Amino acid sequence: MSVSPSFRTFALDQLGRCVPSVRARAMFGGVGIYAGELFFALIADDTVYFKVDDETRPEFERRGLGPFRPSGEHGEVMQYYRVSEDLLEDVEALRSWAEQAVEVARRARRRPSRKQGPRRI
């Protein structure tokens, strides 16, 4: 999951033009990307992946953009899907996709974790 310094700089510059308060954090050889405190994207192997849910995943699949699989081709699928190179290069087109990924992260944060179980009042 290596990330070249030049790709990291390029990706963060592009995303910073679309989303306020973008910051990056190294994680397991890749890079986690945050908008404020919301983890909405990652970079692995010089590829950007956006967080998806049932509402946004179909558009990625329709375009043939696959999921992030940290353990290889047949490994676990994570809820992050590849951002195409042409989209990453076009800031105006990238903006709506990035904003959707931030909103997915926001919705996920509001839902109780399966590990935590439902909230008790």
Share of the chain above pLDDT 70, in %: 89
Q: What is the pTM of this model?
A: 0.87
Burial of 58 (0-12, 13-18, 19+ CB in 10 A): exposed
Q: What is the per-residue pLDDT for 77? A: 77
CATH topology of domain 5-110: Yope Regulator; Chain: A, (3.30.1460)
Which tens digits make up the pLDDT trace of 8-48?
999 999 999 999 899 999 988 899 999 999 999 999 999 99
